[in-house]
């Protein structure tokens, strides 16, 4: 038969539910630990999921390294740049790109027109496959092969503006406006009509900013739109590397290899502030929510202090029968450990359960409140991401257990220092 030390036996007996105020306080303390651990697991997992999904999405659309002209002009020798970098150590692929804002005009069937200002990204269909996942992000049976004067638009743009495949759009470039303005200033009359394109497909990269603000064109159409085609110019060369986290070091090596006439930026330079903000928010939320467990540990301490006062006579009898100070302390430390184990275990299960049903719960709350609690226009994702990192779970659960143990030290030490005569006289 399994025999428990009498300290553990008494601790379990004292924790047995009874109809008194201390049992209620004990239950509240356990619930505090459960909620603290559960909520912290959910929040940290969601923040980790945000960070991972944002990185994956950005790295599937944003070039890891972008090479542009060092003097702010279009690149005139992008083929030579691609030849220099494609065999460079750590580089997986390179592709030219033309990018910038345009004015998009849509004519409706009722005769009305609407104007929007998205960004265009002119890409080479063959080279683009080596630097992004756009060719795999097409919706339906669309393929990014640019058969003629066609464009590809994002899923959220198509929904917002109510555009479908085979619809016609008109694009005005800044260069055309500049030409007309210069002509007017010189006393000439000039009218440049917008370029007409057909929507050949819709893409979904999983990121609201890209899906709602970017239009894909062929490199040649984008060059014509920006008056770059005659000189075969581009705005830059996109580079994908084997390890995106090592893009900074590869950028430095490429800069030395290409020379001072080029300007190189990494995805961290362009989007690093956003990722750093997420990490800061994750750390801040971790510290704030940890105070929930700190409050719960104070509840455990208060419960044990009240319990020690209530059991003063029993402590005196135990001391009179020969129980040592360490043994008496073990009774109340065991109580705090049991409360911690129960609270942390239930909180762990609650947290994992809430992470598993997070999107179903979000849809339920949207339906109950009538509000969209997780709008894609703000958070960029249509679903609530989550990533459970074992080290984070270990820190949360281990920290909660440590706080519960520390909460029991003061009452246990106070109980252990009672002398038998004083304890019995107290009654």
On the question of pLDDT at 102 being above 80, the answer is yes
Residue pair 86/247 in contact (Cβ under 8 Å)? The answer is no
- Token look-up 């004292």 returns 14
State residue 348's pLDDT score.
92
If pLDDT is split at 50, 70 and 90, which confidence band does 216 have?
very high
Cβ(368)–Cβ(356) below 8 Å: no
Band (350; pLDDT cuts 50, 70, 90): very high
Who has greater pLDDT, 59 or 225? 225
pLDDT score of 236 more than 50? yes
N residues, the chain: 427
CA distances from 208 to 36, 178, 189, 348, 382 (A): 32, 31, 41, 32, 8
pLDDT of residue 423 exceeding 80: no
Residue 322 or residue 300, greater confidence: 300
Strands (DSSP E) found in 11-64 = none
pLDDT at 406: 84
What pLDDT is stored for residue 418 in this prediction?
A: 63
Query: Does the pLDDT value for residue 3 go beyond 60?
Result: no
Res 166 pLDDT > 70: yes
pLDDT digits (tens, 9 = 90+) for 24-58: 677 777 888 888 888 888 888 888 888 787 777 77
Asked whether the predicted pLDDT for residue 326 surpasses 80, the reply is: no
> Residue ranges per domain, the chain?
6-56+275-426, 72-260
What confidence score (pLDDT) does residue 209 get?
Answer: 81
Nearest to 293 by CA among 405, 193, 170: 405
Confidence of residue 1 (pLDDT cuts 50, 70, 90): very low
Distance CA(70)–CA(255), nearest Å, equals 11
Beta-strand relationship, 91-107 and 113-116 = antiparallel
Task: Specify the pLDDT at position 2.
Answer: 45
Counting residues of the chain whose pLDDT is more than 70, the rounded percentage is: 83
* pLDDT one-digit tens code per residue, 104-154: 888 887 777 888 889 999 998 888 888 888 888 888 887 888 888 899 999
Mutual angle of helices 267-310 and 247-258, in 10-degree steps: 160
Mean pLDDT of the chain: 80
- Residue where the block lists tokens 């630097």: 131
In 3D, which of 114, 116, 120 has the Cα closest to residue 101?
120
The pLDDT tens digits for 363-411 are 887 787 777 766 666 666 667 788 888 988 998 888 888 888 888 787 7
Which pLDDT score, from 0 to 100, does residue 206 have?
A: 78
Residue 100 pairs in a beta bridge with 120
Question: Tens of pLDDT along 250-268?
Answer: 888 888 888 888 889 888 8
Reported pTM = 0.68
> How far apart are alpha carbons 127 and 30 in whole angstroms?
59
Contact 404, 339 (CB under 8 A): yes
């Amino acid at each position: 038969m399994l025999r428990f030390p009498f300290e553990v036996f008494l601790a379990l007996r004292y924790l047995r539910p009874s109809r008194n105020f201390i049992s209620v306080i004990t239950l509240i303390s356990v619930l505090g630990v459960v909620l603290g651990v559960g909520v912290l697991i959910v929040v940290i997992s969601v923040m980790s999921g945000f960070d991972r999904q944002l990185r994956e999405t950005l790295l599937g659309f944003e070039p890891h390294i972008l090479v542009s002209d060092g003097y702010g002009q279009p690149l005139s020798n992008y083929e030579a740049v691609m030849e220099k970098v494609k065999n460079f150590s750590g580089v997986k692929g390179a592709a030219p790109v033309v990018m910038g804002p345009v004015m998009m005009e849509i004519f409706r069937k009722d005769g009305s027109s609407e104007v929007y200002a998205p960004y265009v990204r002119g890409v080479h269909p063959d080279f683009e496959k080596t630097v992004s996942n756009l060719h795999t992000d097409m919706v339906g049976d669309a393929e990014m092969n640019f058969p003629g004067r066609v464009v590809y638009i994002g899923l959220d743009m198509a929904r917002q503006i109510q555009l479908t495949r085979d619809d016609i759009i008109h694009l005005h470039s800044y260069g055309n406006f500049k030409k007309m303005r210069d002509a007017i200033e010189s006393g000439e009359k000039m009218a440049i009509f917008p370029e007409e394109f057909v929507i050949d497909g819709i893409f979904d990269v999983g990121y609201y900013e890209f899906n709602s603000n970017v239009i894909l064109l062929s490199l040649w159409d984008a060059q014509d739109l920006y008056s770059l085609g005659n000189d075969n110019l581009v705005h830059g060369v996109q580079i994908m590397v084997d390890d995106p986290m090592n893009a900074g070091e590869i950028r430095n090596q490429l800069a030395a290899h290409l020379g001072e006439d080029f300007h190189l930026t990494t995805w961290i330079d362009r989007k690093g502030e956003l990722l750093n903000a997420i990490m800061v928010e994750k750390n801040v939320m971790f510290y704030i929510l940890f105070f929930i467990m700190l409050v719960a540990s104070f509840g455990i301490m208060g419960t044990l202090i009240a319990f020690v006062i209530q059991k003063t006579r029993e402590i005196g009898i135990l001391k009179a029968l020969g129980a040592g100070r360490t043994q008496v302390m073990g009774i109340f430390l065991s109580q705090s450990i049991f409360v911690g184990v129960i609270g942390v275990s239930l909180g762990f299960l609650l947290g994992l359960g809430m992470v598993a049903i997070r999107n179903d719960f979000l849809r339920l709350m949207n339906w109950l409140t009538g509000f969209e609690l997780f709008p894609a226009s703000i958070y960029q994702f249509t679903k609530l991401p989550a990533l459970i990192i074992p080290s984070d779970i270990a820190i949360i659960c281990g920290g909660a257990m440590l706080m519960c143990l520390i909460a029991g030290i003061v009452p246990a030490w106070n109980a252990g220092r009672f002398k038998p005569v004083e304890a019995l006289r107290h009654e």
